[in-house]
A and B are shown apart, each in its own frame.
Chain A
């Protein structure tokens, strides 16, 4: 790719790796292993082998899955990696999240944070990947995100299981004075067929843990897998169908108080004046405290129950300062448009000579259009919350979160505590979607815990507070041009996209003293890194200065760039008189994995056949997080509006470890995207978010949900992630179907601005 050389000559820190803030990563430091956080935490008679495995004398085997379970099935798939190597069934193990620790660093997420398409294996791209991975390891970033959990754990956790099994075998071999290779393992026991002797893992654990870990590890070959590669019964579902108290909001501690927050509705604005006296006198209210934090200004209400806290929060009278961004949606849109028209921007893709191509293009052959998408809220079903207790200089935080080591560091900093005096307990998450990688809910709870004389306080946000204080999917505007050749194919494509920087926004809230540098892939991911060959092809991202908090929203930049890129491809196909599948066949010829995905989804949906009167189909493709995904959406005109009838998905994320879980994630991702495309938008007036709850920020309901059909392919050379990849193509596939049905090319999201849905 033409642009890589140019980028490589600049000095930069990559994507999420910018969190390093310029830390030099020495080889020695990188090689230092993290200590096992389970040492010293084990119960009497329990032994630990590595950060992922504990075995108790009663033969209870506990597997640590140090990633947030937010529905994506990590507590099943990651546990299966260890169980597979330990020769155990999934119902024979216990799964725990474990403590916050650098030992649980996520290196895979960092690897793909750089400004390179996933299929770029040039030396520069690969070097940056390994440096980024090392930064992840060195900083010990324990994060669930970037659809990276399975990829990241794949080697590590199988190794952990294998190493533990080898030690157990070794312990038995020593005791029985027989060669290790004469022993077998099954059902939680080591057995010696020759003598009929056997011992449980639990009986061997303590002796085994005192043996030095093996230096050579041979993992089970795929052909011998019993769990991996097959659908497993999920380990978390019994709790979830019985209403067990597993979420952050369910935390219950002795002597616990309840609370909520009321933060400035204008982001970053300070309180000008306030009167809390009426609120303080309300029944059940214990205390109202000022919160002045790196994520916002406002009040914390401490009460005897959540309802009393909510009521008092509403009764606080406050005047807030002005916003430092345009106060309404029109002003915000103008800011994006100005950025788009201005001179700034960096192009992560710049093939051929786009400017020359457009200089002499005959007007009839040029397509020149503008798109815009709004801010979006995450709207996790479980509103933001955290419980904190500060006692004897030790802070404990219980929170449904995606980044325990960051919470540990930031909350420790806020209260002036060392990391070892901050314990983060990660509960199950009632939805995450990127929102729960943030630190705001933990900071507020930690500060409120300072005011309760050692009593724990559970701080639950109201839905209104959650909707109005999200870290939003950024708004974005795009200006797209194409020059078509006489064959109808694009000869030149120029995409210019203006959007605020997610990375800068995250840094301002999380590590205000550091600032990211270098070109940011999040601005144009989903547009610059797609497997199309067009001779002159430029994608430019223009970071736009808007301080409304933006964050990681399921699929991040891909969520809007996928829409831009794939709707624009549909427009090109229409103008060139080429079928949209045929267009992709031609432009994707250099990428067999992509081609196969498109052909598969076309076949599944009988693309070449008409959908019938009053019906239409649309197609889109996005490569994101190592997942190559094509989706076809079929819509029908009904008396009540447009109905989404059916969605076909073909996805290739390389090796699949649990097909049922991956399929569920793809459908979930598509529903999330379709919900946004149908009706969601966050708008502003007077510097504040206008929406507040599900009545004005709704999502797809069961009567609107289509049928789904999913095919998984396994041709991609590398393993991709599953959690986010269903989202990006769902939005343009629906928009393209709506165009095919109604003739309306809707370039401003959501679609409900111009059509209505049944």
Chain B
């Protein structure tokens, strides 16, 4: 089976029913997407498929019909994505386990909306659980990333 992950073609030998999450983690060695619940209830496994946020734990790998982006695919060379930069600047993570998923959801949000309102953030991010309670910093970092993005004209 062939997938395109982070612009690279990868070849894996997977049961088509296997969730994309496990195909990435156990078969392709791509560990950025995390396992949290397996039922699309926590967002830790969020990846982008053709730019849209998807819970990879609940998408059979055989049903993937687009290019997959994981957090490993966000930086351009040595430059972190603006969302990652904002996350660092605001010192968002605590344990960090949910953050790859949070960042992927935020990236997708900022592709849709240039200046997200609090309500936009609530809508886009409420599927991403954080047990460490980093929500106030996530909110601030998304706004910071939006500003950074406008500044860079990206």
Identify which of A48-56, A240-248, A285-293, A475-483 touches chain B: A240-248
B68 at the interface (CB under 8 A from A): no
Contact B88 A238 (CB under 8 A): yes
- 25 residue pairs from A and B, CB less than 8 Å apart: A70-B95, A71-B93, A71-B132, A72-B94, A237-B91, A241-B84, A241-B96, A241-B99, A242-B71, A283-B15, A306-B22, A307-B26, A381-B42, A381-B130, A382-B97, A383-B36, A428-B95, A430-B96, A664-B91, A669-B133, A693-B37, A694-B39, A702-B138, A707-B136, A708-B136
CB pair B35 A383 closer than 8 Å: yes
CA distance A381 to B135 in the complex (A): 15
- Chain A contacts of B44 at CB under 8 A? 381
**B131 touching A379 by the CB < 8 A rule?**
yes
Interface contact B132-A668, CB-CB below 8 Å? yes
| Known A247-B34, A702-B125; contact A660-B95, beta-carbon cutoff 8 A | no
Q: Which of B93-133 contact A (CB under 8 A)?
A: 93-100, 103, 121-123, 125-126, 128-133
Docked Cα-Cα span, A720 to B41, in Å, equals: 36
- With A247-B34, A703-B126 already in contact, the answer to whether A672 and B131 are too (CB < 8 A) is yes
Q: Check B52 for interface membership: any CB of A closer than 8 A.
A: no
Instruction: Decide if B36 touches A431 in the complex (CB within 8 Å).
Output: no
A270 within 8 A of B: no
Asked whether any CB of chain B lies closer than 8 Å to the CB of A234, the reply is yes
Q: Could you tell me if A671 and B94 are in contact, using CB atoms closer than 8 angstroms?
A: no
Task: Report the separation of the CA atoms of residues A671 and B133 in the bound assembly, to the nearest whole angstrom.
Answer: 5
- Residue A701, interface by CB 8 Å: yes
Instruction: Output the least CB separation between A402 and chain B (Å).
Output: 12
Query: Which residues of A does B touch, CB under 8 Å?
Result: 69-73, 233-234, 236-243, 245-247, 249-250, 252, 258, 283-284, 305-307, 310, 379-383, 428-433, 460, 462-463, 660, 664, 667-672, 675, 693-695, 698-703, 705, 707-708
| Bound complex: CA A379 to CA B42 (Å) | 11
Report if B18 contacts A (CB, 8 A).
yes
Contact in complex: B26, A306 (CB < 8 Å): yes
B10 within 8 A of A: no
B41 touches A699 (CB 8 A): no
B35 cross-chain contacts in A, Cβ below 8 A: 249, 306, 383, 460
Given A242-B80, A431-B97, A693-B41, A699–B129 Cβ distance below 8 Å?
A: yes
A258 close to B26 (CB less than 8 A): yes
B35 to chain A, nearest CB (A): 6
Is residue B2 contacting chain A, with contact meaning CB distance below 8 A? no
Q: Does B53 contact A (CB under 8 A)?
A: no
Whether A236 contacts B19 by the Cβ 8 Å rule is: no
Our count of residue pairs bridging A and B at CB distance below 8 angstroms stands at: 175
Question: B66 at the A/B interface (Cβ < 8 Å)?
Answer: no
Query: Which residues of the partner chain B approach A463 to less than 8 Å between Cβ atoms?
Result: 36-39
Distance in angstroms from A177 CB to nearest chain B CB is 46
In this complex, the interface size class of chain B, counting residues with CB under 8 Å from chain A, is 35 or more
Q: Nearest-CB distance from A394 to chain B (Å)?
A: 26
Residue of B nearest to A380 (CB): B131
B15-57 contacts to A, CB under 8 A, are 15, 18-19, 22, 25-27, 29, 31-39, 41-42, 44
Min distance, Cβ B151 to any Cβ of chain A, angstroms: 19
Minimum CB–CB distance from B27 to chain A (whole Å) comes to: 7
11 extra A-B contacts, CB within 8 A, seeds A70-B94, A380-B131 = A240-B93, A242-B71, A243-B31, A243-B70, A249-B34, A252-B29, A307-B18, A431-B132, A432-B95, A463-B37, A463-B39
| Smallest Cβ-Cβ distance to B70: which chain A residue | A243
In the complex, whether B134 has a CB less than 8 A from a CB of chain A is yes
Q: Are B22 and A307 in contact (CB under 8 A)?
A: yes
In the bound complex, do residue B22 and residue A305 qualify as a contact, i.e. CB atoms below 8 Å apart?
Answer: yes
Q: Which of A233, A305, A694, A695 contacts B27 (CB 8 A)?
A: A305
Asked whether, in the complex, the Cβ of B34 is within 8 Å of the Cβ of A382, the reply is yes
Name the 7 nearest CB pairs between A and B, nearest first. Answer: A671-B133, A243-B32, A430-B97, A71-B94, A240-B96, A71-B95, A243-B71
Instruction: Decide: A243 near B72, CB < 8 A? Known: A71-B96, A381-B44.
Output: yes
B133 close to A237 (CB less than 8 A):
no
In angstroms, Cα B12 to Cα A307, docked, is 15
- Residues of A contacting B29 in the complex (Cβ-Cβ under 8 angstroms): 252
The answer to whether B126 and A701 touch across the interface, beta carbons within 8 angstroms, is yes
Cα–Cα, bound, A381→B93 (Å): 13
| Chain B min CB distance to A306 (Å) | 6
Residues in A whose Cβ lies below 8 Å from that of B123: 703
Closest to B19 in A: A307
List B contacts of A307 (CB < 8 A).
15, 18-19, 22, 26
CB contact between B18 and one of A305, A380, A672 (< 8 Å): that residue? A305
Measured in the bound complex, the distance between the Cα atoms of B120 and A206 in whole Å is 58
Tell me the complex Cα distance, A306–B95, Å: 23
Q: A243-B72, A307-B22, A703-B122 are in contact. Are A694 and B129 (CB under 8 A)?
A: yes
Cα A284 to Cα B23 in complex, Å, equals 13
In angstroms, Cα B32 to Cα A463, docked, is: 18
Task: Please indicate the chain A residues that have their CB under 8 angstroms from the CB of B92 in the complex.
Answer: 237, 241
Across-interface contacts of A234 in B (CB, < 8 A):
91
* A568–B7 alpha-carbon span in the complex (Å): 60
Partner among B27, B31, B32, B88 whose Cβ is within 8 Å of the Cβ of A237: B88
Residues of B within 8 A of A70 (CB): 94-95
CA distance A704 to B96 in the complex (A): 20
Q: What's the Cα separation between A604 and B37 when bound, in Å?
A: 39
Partner of B129, one of A305, A433, A668, A701: A701
Interface string of B55-70 (1 = CB under 8 A from A): 0000000000000001
Residues of B within 8 A of A660 (CB): 91
A462 touches B38 (CB 8 A): yes
**What's the least CB distance linking B140 to chain A, in Å?**
11
* Inter-subunit contact B131/A702 (CB<8 Å): no
Smallest beta-carbon distance A339→chain B, Å:
32
Asked whether, in the complex, the Cβ of A667 is within 8 Å of the Cβ of B34, the reply is: no
Cross-chain contact A702 with B122 (CB below 8 angstroms): yes
> With the chains together, A675 CA to B132 CA distance in Å?
11
Shortest Cβ gap from A672 to chain B (Å): 6
B135 adjacent to A671 (CB under 8 Å): yes
